[in-house]
Structure 1
Amino acid sequence: MTPRTLYRRIAVAEVVTWALLLLGMVLKYVTKSTELGVRVFGLAHGFVFIAYCLTTLLLWVNQRWTAREGLLGLLSAVPPFLTVWWERRLERRGRLDDGWRLGRGGETPTSRAERVVTALLARPVVAVGVGVVAVLALTGVALVVGPPVGKQG
């Protein structure tokens, strides 16, 4: 899977879970019919949000994005539906072109972050496992900490 394909898929997944969470919020706060949607879609959105942020960090290093591009990539996950717009903007600017720069037979890493990305790309199955464990761990922390706006009833 190319960096472009990976980023597009995770950006779309983030938008879909945002839409589902907003639907759950309408059911909870507007129709007052159920809060199940917020519970289920909130968890799904949180999981995908974290996966999107980790993917952004991975591509920030591999694609040599500027600090501005990396930070805007991370921030694009906060407002609803912005991740797909951001991914398309990066694509139009050629910032998602080519394959994995740090993959097998690619460039030699020059920083600690590049060495980590190189190690992950050399072992894709391990990388997926590390990614899943990281997302689960961060999701667990988020569940313990609670909703971003505080406890709501």
Structure 2
Amino acid sequence: MSNLPIKMLRLVSFLEGVSFLVLLYFAIYHKRILGEEDAIQVPGMIHGILFVVFCLVLGYVWIDRKWPLKKVALAFVCSLVPFAPFYLERKLKEDQAA
């Protein structure tokens, strides 16, 4: 069994986590504090695309690795909480080594 699906999920999880933090920065600082109304347009689009890619890759890994629904649900919830994608990436690295 190839480790490529897990590697893809690790990469996309990391990128999605970084984009989430960047989006929060722009939403809080640039939009709310500086008053730039269109400050989150580009970071929001990038994060949205990465989130969709994450969901697609997660679905692929779910099918390829025959993960239980509980594991898939945990990975999905990690994509919704700031800093949790980095926890997920570490857990996926351990899973990849196993």
TM-score strictly above 0.5: yes
* Partner in structure 2 of residue 17 of structure 1: 19
| Residues 1:8 and 1:90: Cα distance change in structure 2 (over 3 Å) | closer
Q: Is the Cα contact below 8 Å between 1:21 and 1:37 reproduced in 2? A: no
For residues 118-137 of structure 1, the aligned pairs below 5 Å read: none
Identity score, percent: 24
Match of 1:7 among 6, 9, 12: 9
* Partner in structure 2 of residue 64 of structure 1: 66
**Using CA pairs below 8 Å that are at least 6 residues apart, which structure has the higher relative contact order?**
2
CA distance in 2, matches of 1:59, 1:4: 7
TM-score (norm 1): 0.56
TM-score (norm 2): 0.84
Q: Is the Cα contact below 8 Å between 1:53 and 1:77 reproduced in 2? A: no
CA distance in 2, matches of 1:61, 1:83: 20
Matching residue's letter, 1:29: R
Deviations 1:116-148 (A, max 9, x none): xxxxxxxxxxxxxxxxxxxxxxxxxxxxxxxxx
- State the secondary structure of the residue aligned to 1:74: helix
Match of 2:30 among 14, 22, 27: 27
For structure 2, the residue ranges without an aligned partner over 5 or more in a row are none
Rg larger in structure? 1
Match of 2:87 among 85, 92, 95: 85
Match status 1:48 vs 2:50:
yes
> How many Å apart are 1:83 and its aligned residue?
1.6
Q: Is the Cα contact below 8 Å between 1:4 and 1:97 reproduced in 2? A: no
Runs of 4+ in 1 over 3 A off after TM superposition: none
For structure 1, the residue ranges without an aligned partner over 5 or more in a row are 99-153
> How many Å apart are 1:23 and its aligned residue?
1.7
CA distance in 2, matches of 1:41, 1:30: 17
> How many Å apart are 1:87 and its aligned residue?
2.5
Higher helix proportion (structure 1 or 2): 2
